Structure 1
């Protein structure tokens, strides 16, 4: 069994947890393991009957390339002893062998007449303990790099003082325990914590950096009077109270975005290099903050759905996103993104476009403001204002087009009864 590609863009993943033990049988539909992708933790189900003969990539393994062997599967009645040898051969091809396998290969061997002598270990010049070079195994170097551990401070216990995996891991535990020890001198490294990048965080960083550098962003901001939305929301929520449902301001925003995209379909597009792809349906990506990073589950074809349906779907998707249980089809794609920070009392901000989409809408909080009164030329009145900022890719949506879309969006929110037309 090899690391599967859980999405078209996935190149590597991690093993969150095996749900079957070695030697345990499984049937179609049984969950074999959980795989951590750049977006979520996804269950991998068995497609047929079999036995999990040998696990190659253990729980917690990360950065496993798609197609790399992670386990040996067999059929009922097969000789499982052969799986051990197959797993050993497969592990030699991986970049991160298990701790047990590395320990065997790096422990000094005592010559015995009954065993065939092991071939001499070949050490690259970069691993020789000469000058500034450090004598360490590849996996030890990899772990040290990920955790920010200086190899020069790690004492090697392998052959000829070579630094092995256990040395690097032990160094971390020793430095941690020294924090609570009153007799140990203060370590400057205790003033900060190095947090290893998850696959999700690494992908977010790469995509947003690429978007900000390659997509020519521009920004348009409007003030929207939300009094009618707030009043209509109160009426709807009173009628939905007995059902345990409740509409949010964001549900109205999603609906207004979809309706505005119907009026200005050119904004519902993506820049694909040689072409601009214009979508016929409004699949709205909603930015959700999770412990692992930002993810954008999608409310599909939001223009055809009512506010109650949008609300229920958005809440369910947000919960699955925070639990890391989104399926690929629930966050891949999307034609337009909404990022709402109004619940944090943020009045105004700009957002980075979610490529290859052309637009993202940054929504702030609704706040009271004084404006001239239309009824009294010399007077003022208090209204509730929400600022919304559209970030657009100038290659596919120019300024005039962005302004047309933002005007349509503002019109729907200031006259929400038009949702019903």
Structure 2
């Protein structure tokens, strides 16, 4: 029977996603497991697969459309099913054949690299993300159909749903409808004053951020979805995870010499960061009390060393997780990291590659930064901030002063799952590995 293919929940913390592009056309026959669209979340671009063998009867939204999770984006038919069954589904959505045909034409004529709609000018109504024509907001016995994020925005902005016209599938009110109404100056709802007793018992609103004073000549760069997500997660990390910091200095002359030998003998160019990630993973295996994450019910112990690597990609900060690092050779690890960085810059990381891990490596050595404190990437237990190698005088075990390459590192630790002694044991083992680098590769 004809079925609706809906926008999947590709990210646990997203109410909506951008349908970046279709990889099939209307009328195409598809098989189970075949990729039919790519969907962009705040973190990555994810391939979406069909779970059935089917024929694409209609594509309901074009590339670049922002769609609430759960909304229909296509109508699929069983193989050899009568197309009339698909038309019935379209009619139930309030989409006639002409409207569906217009959408199909728009999709077919769109460029291969579908772009999201441009941001509206400050004084202009926000454009709707979808191009499917729809009737006014649907209701059923007074019920207004709207996406969860549209309801949340309407409450925040004090906008009455009765004043809105839905442009989503079947007349559903979506986020852009609320934003358009807010930009156009739709009158907010005036709520009746609560009784005195209720007002006294009501919780006080949270303090609002102090608005910046904007001077002439300042320019505004609107927040990207990724920037807003990073800001939200890091703010939550500093507020919820009690950070403590452990610092040490590493002598890296032996490591640099070993790296030069490996690069001269092999085809893969190994970086200092590759050594650091590998050493961090071995230290997690050797000090398993550090290889954990916090949950409200329990401390969760990881069976292998999955280490995230902070990447300042062209799209913003992302932290792809390299799984099972302890079992990878240095050259294999180097290739995995280079591949993750390249795909991060292209926005092609899978959602699964951005989840998990117990520790992140954040390395700013290439910018000449000698030392810094990093914020933990929740729910991981720690993050290691790595600075640049600097030549400086050091006192050897024999008491003699010599010049050596020294790297300063700072381990930020979540004190909920990890005590100070455990963090110190892990850092001591990491230091031992870096200063005796043959232990890293054997």
| TM-score between the two structures when normalised by the length of structure 2 | 0.71
Structure 1 pair 191/54, CA: closer, same or farther in 2 (3 Å)? farther
**Mapped pair 1:230 → 2:236:** no
1:101 to 133, 143, 149: 133
Superposition deviation, residue 50 in structure 1: 2.3
| Alignment-derived partner of residue 6 in structure 1 | 10
The unaligned stretches of length 5 or more in structure 2 are: 100-127, 138-143, 145-153, 168-172, 187-214
Report the Cα distance in structure 1 between the residues aligned to 2:363 and 2:29, rounded to whole angstroms: 47
Superposition deviation, residue 420 in structure 1: 4.1
| Alignment-derived partner of residue 343 in structure 2 | 320
**Mapped pair 1:197 → 2:224:** yes
Superimposed CA distance per residue, residues 279-331 of structure 1 (whole angstroms, 9 cap, x where no aligned partner) = 23111111112233222222212122221121111111222222222223322
Instruction: Say what the alpha-carbon RMSD is for the aligned residues.
Output: 3.3
Report the Cα distance in structure 2 between the residues aligned to 1:260 and 1:349, rounded to whole angstroms: 21
Contact kept, 8 Å, 1:144 with 1:151, in 2: the verdict is no
Report the Cα distance in structure 2 between the residues aligned to 1:63 and 1:203, rounded to whole angstroms: 18
| Alignment-derived partner of residue 48 in structure 2 | 44
Report the Cα distance in structure 2 between the residues aligned to 1:250 and 1:148, rounded to whole angstroms: 50
Superposition deviation, residue 355 in structure 1: 1.5
Structure 1 pair 148/352, CA: closer, same or farther in 2 (3 Å)? farther
Report the Cα distance in structure 2 between the residues aligned to 1:390 and 1:195, rounded to whole angstroms: 33
May I ask how many residue pairs the two structures share in their alignment?
A: 352
Report the Cα distance in structure 2 between the residues aligned to 1:356 and 1:277, rounded to whole angstroms: 10
Equivalent residue runs for 1:247-396 within 5 Å: 247-372=270-395, 377=400, 380-396=401-417
Equivalent residue runs for 1:158-197 within 5 Å: 191-197=218-224
Structure 1 pair 147/412, CA: closer, same or farther in 2 (3 Å)? farther
Superposition deviation, residue 138 in structure 1: 6.3
1:82 to 79, 88, 111: 88
Report the Cα distance in structure 2 between the residues aligned to 1:100 and 1:38, rounded to whole angstroms: 24
The unaligned stretches of length 5 or more in structure 1 are: 107-121, 154-187
SS of the residue 1:313 aligns to: helix
| Alignment-derived partner of residue 215 in structure 1 | 241
Report the Cα distance in structure 1 between the residues aligned to 2:228 and 2:358, rounded to whole angstroms: 23
Superposition deviation, residue 148 in structure 1: 12
Task: Give the structure with higher Rg (CA).
Answer: 1
Contact kept, 8 Å, 2:248 with 2:410, in 1: the verdict is yes
